[in-house]
């Protein structure tokens, strides 16, 4: 005989009807995300298909090949992790670190500390070297550390989002081969906007995100692994300590077998494919030149209105500029003023630079001369209102 199941009364607190979402207009000129390209938004809105649908399987291959182009690599294991850039960051460490491995982290900003924290959680023996926030490492400094610590992995940030520093990479890969260690590189704020040559530079593991130079909403984390890194993965004594990010499992889905692993975010990969197509249509070198030209226009304009840049010119990122907050200005109140009254987002400082700098991003779709002129005009016009603590965020 069937039994009747009883349930408690439904809590009615959320019964009040809500209208549809209306997003206020924003121009995102901070450290990320950037505004998504209209064609990317259109791709995101397409009808979903199954994650094993032949159409989607073909699209997956296109995404992988386009990522290889964007990174200038032939790595077989190149794919977008189903997660944000931090998931891809963790994937590089989860798949390459075994308990007791020595990992050298070259820290020159906030995200170097995150790399060290993640490596420690995978029970690596973490050693660090550090530079002031606004500087980069020399080959001499890196070789001294490699010689001293003899790590299994050197982890570093190419484009440090917290400082606006671009780490020179020429010769680093050769040093890593000399000292028999893998090179792991954070390219979150450089992919698409800054010259990247993973194979030529000897990079073994790299990760990025969807929402900065690619101008796709956050949600995917590009990941790539060289044959040297694959060999280390294949020699592990035990399983990767993260099932979701285990590339030996993911490869069965993203590789030739296409064996189910998880329900992939299909529409996010529609957006990623479109973002990468737009980058390929423009051409990498053209994109890099556009970002450089607009950054130089911004730097010149900032100095022209009396503002001081935090990083010396030779080390500045074209995608992210740190500008020192002038004396007498409440930096947080000013960013809130720009957002509330002009719909413009710029970022504040992180870590040791909190309250000391603003971070202005010109990434992907947002790297235009029109946006440069817009932010320069606003700074020139609005900053005087905030001098001598007279800011009003209303």
The count of other CB atoms within 10 Å of the CB of residue 86 is 17
DSSP characters over 223-254: EEE-HHHHHHHHT-SS--S-TTT-HHHHHHHH
DSSP string of 354-382, one letter each residue? TTTEEEEE--GGG--HHHHHHHHHHHHHH
CB neighbourhood size of 48 (10 A): 11
Question: Rounded to the nearest 5 degrees, what angle is found at the Cα of 348, between the Cα atoms of 342 and 156?
Answer: 135
Give the fold, CATH level 3, of 38-281.
3.40.640
| 10-residue mean pLDDT series, the chain (394 residues) | 80 77 96 97 97 94 98 97 97 98 98 98 98 98 98 98 98 98 98 98 98 98 98 96 94 87 94 98 98 98 97 98 95 95 97 97 98 97 75 44
- The predicted pLDDT at position 14 comes to 66
Helix (H) or strand (E) holding 275: helix 266-282
> How far apart are the C-alpha atoms of 191 and 52, rounded to whole Å?
28
**For residue 257, what pLDDT is reported?**
84
Query: What are the extents of the domains in the chain?
Result: 27-32+284-389, 38-281
- Does domain 27-32+284-389 correspond to CATH entry 3.90.1150.10? yes
Q: Is the peptide bond before 172 cis (omega within 30 degrees of 0)?
A: no
């Amino acid at each position: 005989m069937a039994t009747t199941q009883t349930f408690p009364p439904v809590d009615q607190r959320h019964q009040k009807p809500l209208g549809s979402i209306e997003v206020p207009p924003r121009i995102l000129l901070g450290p990320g995300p950037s505004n998504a390209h209209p064609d990317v938004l259109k791709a995101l809105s397409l009808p979903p298909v199954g994650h094993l649908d032949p159409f989607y399987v073909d699209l997956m291959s296109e995404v992988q090949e386009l990522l290889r182009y964007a990174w200038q690599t032939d790595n077989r294991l190149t794919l977008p992790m189903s997660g944000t850039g931090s998931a891809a960051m963790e994937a590089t460490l989860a798949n390459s670190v075994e308990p007791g491995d020595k990992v050298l982290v070259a820290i020159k900003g906030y995200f170097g500390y995150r790399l060290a924290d993640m490596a420690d959680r995978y029970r690596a023996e973490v050693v660090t070297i550090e530079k002031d926030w606004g500087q980069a490492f020399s080959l001499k400094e890196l070789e001294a550390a490699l010689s001293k610590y003899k790590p299994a992995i050197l982890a570093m940030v190419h484009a440090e989002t917290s400082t606006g520093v671009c780490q020179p990479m020429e010769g680093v890969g050769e040093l890593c081969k000399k000292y028999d260690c893998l090179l792991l590189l954070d390219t979150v704020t450089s992919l698409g906007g800054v010259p990247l040559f993973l194979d030529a530079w000897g990079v073994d593991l790299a990760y990025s995100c969807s929402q900065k130079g690619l101008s796709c909403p956050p949600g995917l984390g590009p990941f790539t692994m060289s044959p040297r890194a694959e060999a280390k993965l294949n020699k592990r004594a035990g399983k990767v300590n993260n099932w979701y990010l285990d590339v030996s499992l993911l490869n069965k889905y993203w590789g030739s077998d296409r064996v189910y692993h998880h329900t992939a975010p299909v529409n996010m990969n529609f957006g990623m494919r479109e973002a990468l197509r737009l980058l390929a249509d423009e051409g990498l070198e053209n994109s890099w030149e556009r970002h450089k030209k607009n950054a130089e226009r911004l730097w010149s304009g900032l100095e022209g209105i009396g503002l001081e840049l935090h990083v010396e010119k030779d080390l500045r990122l074209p995608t992210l500029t740190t500008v020192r907050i002038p004396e007498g200005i409440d930096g947080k109140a000013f960013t809130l003023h720009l957002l509330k009254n002009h719909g413009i987002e710029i970022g504040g400082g992180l870590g040791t630079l909190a309250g000391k700098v603003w971070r202005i991003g010109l990434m992907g779709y947002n790297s235009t001369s029109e946006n440069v002129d817009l932010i320069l005009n606003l700074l020139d016009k609005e900053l005087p209102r905030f001098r001598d603590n007279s800011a009003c965020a209303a």
